[in-house]
Structure 1
Amino acid sequence: MMQLERQKKILDYLNKNRKATTKELSQLLDVSATTIRTDLNQMDKEKLITKTHGGAVYNDRSLDNIELTGRAYIFDERALENRKEKEAIASKAIKLIKNHMCIYLDASSTCYTLGMKLSGFTKLTVITNGINLALALKDVPGITVILTGGIVTSVSSSIEGLLGEDLLTKIHTDIAFVSARGFSVENGLTDFSIYEADLKRRCVKSSAKTIALIDHTKFNTTSISSYASLDDLNMVITDFGLSEHTKSIYENAGVNLVLAKEV
């Protein structure tokens, strides 16, 4: 049973029964308790359920705005999470951008935070699949915005799919700034949407450098679709909340890890 199908069954069960133990769900789905705990941890982070000691309870607002089959935080809600960390990461990343560059910024709230710092350039080209970012930058002097083609998603305010693939094969960026739903040594950068992952995979391939902007809460987590391995990344910028233990694990795996100070 795939992760998405399993988590859908967990959510359906909690919707009917309001609560469940890890053992109960393990027996129901015929998987290990460790697998169930991993699912519950991820679903709790995404505010689909509330994890408790030994199990989970249903969130009444779980399905108000978030569908499990196309799960994504509403953009404004994501932007409010870990704001200090994202500001610190963006402040570090902006120092890498120079005039006459062509850069890619994905539709993540972290890249949006970076985009809001783009001013004072005489000539800069920004390619993005983020609708909010494109609208915010379109009138900024010195910046040319190119929006990738594809399908508009309402909850994440992004464009997904590969209708703009031809564009990405013709334009080569100096730096691709990307974020992710999860980052692990084994699976690299991962996203929930396979369509957005496909788009990012092509952006990474077309870029001279790839720099991941990942806050500390994304480390040691994995989502459904991998789009970049550790070898694809020139640098990972994270925040001051990353533990020394986690830092050493990723540095020992060969990651060029840069920690941003609190701003």
Structure 2
Amino acid sequence: MFANQRRSEILHRVQEQKTVSVNELSEKLNVSAATVRADLNSMEKQGLLTRTHGGAMMKEKDDIDKKYAVREKKHRSEKQRIAAAAFEYIEDDQCIILDASTTCFELAKFIKESTKRLTIVTSGLTTATMLKENPNLTVIIIGGIVRSGSNSIEGLIGHELLKKVNVDILFTSAYALNASDGLTDFSLYEVELKREMVATARKTIALVDNSKIDKSSIATFAKIEDIELLVTDQALSPDLAAYFSATKVPIDIAN
């Protein structure tokens, strides 16, 4: 089992049981206690859980910084610049997916005020509610589970819907982006749906502000090679820029 798979399983158990012990995880995952401790320490640094004596517990209140209402206000000017640049890639009569991220919500604001005729598939409750007011838009919301404090539909209930639509572009953000892990997020259930979105769309455009660059989260939903374009607001670090160049994925820096 790879480290990311192991840590995904640890997070799943923490979310289900609230608390876990090193010995329990060592037995269930068939790895040493030292490996489990290293995983837990790394996951605590990522803000995914809280270490306790002999184990770990779910982060109090599920880490309020991840609540949609809080995230929506952070780095808003950067997200608006990214959204304005991303809007230029949308053409009349396309079918696009907008994930439930706050950056895609900023993109949805540009779409709402436009005269473009589009079909919008989205996992964002707020996004769907806003876009339905524009008569030029056909809005399809993906079915699934809604968690408290979240704007996102999660799970694979909407999997069959994605099979039935021909999607030109997926616009997606992430909790973090780096060269080795690609686009990552902290919700295992949301990641499952995002993987399906990436597989469905003809083109995937990642919208990632500078606060998320060169960081990582628990689960990958797309490698850099899986996307066609990154729209961000600042120049990347030399190492990450070199990786994008090597994989021939272009970068649009929104000024």
The bucket for the TM-score relative to the shorter chain is: 0.7 to 0.9
Instruction: Choose the corresponding residue for 1:86, options 79, 84, 93.
Output: 79
Using a 3 Å threshold, how does the CA distance of structure 1 residues 87 and 167 change in structure 2: closer, same or farther?
same
User: Is 1:160–1:196's contact at 8 Å kept on the other side of the alignment?
Assistant: yes
**Identical amino acids, percent of aligned pairs:** 35
- Match status 1:112 vs 2:111: no
Structure 1 runs of 4+ with >6 Å offset? 32-37
Instruction: Choose the corresponding residue for 1:206, options 195, 200, 205.
Output: 200
TM-score (norm. length: structure 1): 0.75
Cα separation, 1, equivalents of 2:235 and 2:116: 35
User: Is 2:143–2:158's contact at 8 Å kept on the other side of the alignment?
Assistant: yes
The SS at the match of 2:110 is: coil
Per-residue CA deviations over 1:187-220 (Å, capped at 9, x if unaligned) read 2111212221111111111111100001122222
Per-residue CA deviations over 1:52-96 (Å, capped at 9, x if unaligned) read xxxxxxxxxx62x426xxx87111100111112111110100001
Cα separation, 2, equivalents of 1:38 and 1:251: 29
Cα separation, 1, equivalents of 2:39 and 2:243: 23
TM-score (norm. length: structure 2): 0.77
Q: Who is 1:42 aligned against?
A: 46
Structure-to-structure mapping, 1:1-263, within 5 angstroms: 2-3=6-7, 5=10, 30=34, 38-43=42-47, 63=60, 65-66=61-62, 73-118=66-111, 119-240=113-234, 242-244=236-238, 246-261=240-255
User: Is 1:180–1:191's contact at 8 Å kept on the other side of the alignment?
Assistant: yes
Cα separation, 1, equivalents of 2:233 and 2:118: 26
CA RMSD for the aligned pairs?
2.9
Per the TM alignment, residue 122 of structure 1 is displaced from its structure 2 partner at its CA by 4.2
Q: Between 252-261 and 180-189, report the one with greater CA deviation.
A: 252-261
Structure 2 residues without counterparts, runs of 5 or longer: 20-32, 51-58
Structure 1 residues without counterparts, runs of 5 or longer: 13-28, 50-61
User: Is 2:178–2:240's contact at 8 Å kept on the other side of the alignment?
Assistant: no
Give the paired residue count. Answer: 225
